Amino acid sequence: MEPDYSRYSIRDLREALESIDKEAYPERTKLIQQQLSQRNNSETFNTQTDANKLEKEVSPTSQFLLIIIALFFTWLAFNAVYSGTISGRRGNSYSYHSSPNMFLFLLGVDLFVIGYCLYALIKARSSSKK
C-alpha cells in the first residue's frame, strides 16, 4: 500500500523526500520528486490545497455549545461587575475593593473566553456561508 502523495503539502513532501530511504524505495522517491516539481510549477494548486486543509467545518452542536459557553461567561462577567465580587478557585470570593488585581484578572479571563467563543462562532458561520 503506497501513500497518496497528491494529498501531501509541499512541506510534507520535502520532509518525506529527506527521510525516505532512496535505495530501498526508488519509485516512491521518484513519485515525491514528481509531485514537488508539479507543485512548484503550479502555485494555484498550493493555495487551494492549503486553504482546504485550514477550513474545518464546525458542527451545529459545537456552535450551540459555543453560544451556551459564551452566555454563561457573559452572565458571570455581568454578575461580577454588578455585584463587585467575583468567585475564584475553591470558592474564594474576590472583590474589587479588597483585591482589585485578582478581580480584574478573573474578569479578564471571563471576557477572553467570551471573545474567543464569539470569534470561533463568527468564523464558523462565515466559513459555512461560503
Question: pLDDT tens for residues 38-86?
Answer: 887 765 555 555 555 555 677 889 899 999 999 999 999 999 999 999 9
pTM exceeds 0.75 for this model? no
More confident residue, 7 or 41: 7
Q: What's the per-residue H, E or C state across 1-57? A: CCCCHHHCCHHHHHHHHHHCCCCCCHHHHHHHHHHHHHHHHCHHHHHHHHHHHHCCC
Averaged pLDDT, 90-94 = 86
More confident residue, 114 or 18: 114
Give the pLDDT confidence score for residue 20 in this predicted structure: 87
Nearest to 2 by CA among 23, 22, 29, 37: 29
* Tens-place pLDDT, residues 56-67: 677 889 899 999
